Amino acid sequence: MNTFKVLKPLTISSLSFLLLLVSYPIQAQSECQIRGGGKGQLECAKVYKIQQKVRLKALGRGINRFLKPAEKVSMFPNEILQTSVDSKAQLQFNEGSLAWTKANTVFEFNPGQRRIQLIDGAVLVMVAPGGQPINTRTAEVDIRPKGTVYLVEHNQTEKKTTISVLTDNPQGPVTVVSQTNPNESIKLYSGQRVSATEQGFGPIENFDLSEMYKTEPVVAGLGVGQTKALSGQPPEARETLDSVRQETVKAQIGQTIKNSPTQSGACP
């Protein structure tokens, strides 16, 4: 006579453990695929270059640690990337757009949208010409470009955000909307920046694009004669950068011509 061992029913804890064993390897091996084109939702991002201490908090995938210098990892919606002092990270989204961060930056991107949430620090957003715009939101403002290159710097302690625009777009300027007063907004063109606090916007300032490319490391490679700085970029990122550079160089040269003495009417 055959005897059979009676199996105990699965408890909730044991069932959860089994589900974790099944799902975790798939999530751990998931990799962001770069399609390019600059259109569609931000589904994921590939963190392809890091400097010093960069932490990825992806609790849903069991990740909360500093990344290794040569490590290539993927980031998904609602996961947080954080850079430390003297650190930086360069990311490329699935649709080809780029986000380069400075030190002391904390940011994430939202599912089903084309929006970055900048919690603290600074991020340079680059969308290839013809691509759909990527909005960036801070505690003070909602930045709504037309698919261009811009730098956002947010100081969480001072509760202040500064937006600098590097290129123009045929569809129109960058619109910046106040978070505290949605009826208050301003428009920015290349070579213009503005700061905002909870009290509202400061004055629009003009800045020298050529000087910025010389002094601001996060934009290195986008100015005239700076292609050498992009030599270490992977092919997918370089494709976007080459098209973006056409716009940044155009804006830089245009500003130089506009501000030249012959254009202003001054004697040479």
> pLDDT of 69-86, one tens digit each?
888 899 999 999 999 999
Annotate 233-248 with DSSP letters as a single string. --HHHHHHHHHHHHHH
Pair 194, 202: CB distance under 8 Å: yes
Residue 9 pLDDT: 52
Question: So what's the pLDDT on residue 189?
Answer: 97
Q: Please give the share of the chain, as a percent, with pLDDT higher than 90.
A: 76
The identity of residue 209, as a single letter, is L
pLDDT, the chain, mean = 88
* Beta pairing class for 115-126 and 192-197: unpaired
Q: What is the CATH number of domain 30-205?
A: 2.60.120.1440
pLDDT band (50, 70, 90) for residue 263:
low
Q: Any idea where the domains of the chain sit in the sequence?
A: 30-205
163 is written with which tokens?
């937006």
Q: Which of 169, 87, 185 is nearest to 134 (CA)?
A: 169
Distance CA 129, CA 148 (A): 7
Q: Measure the CA–CA gap between 87 and 59, rounded to whole angstroms.
A: 22
Residue 22 pLDDT > 70, yes or no? no
- pLDDT value at residue 220: 96
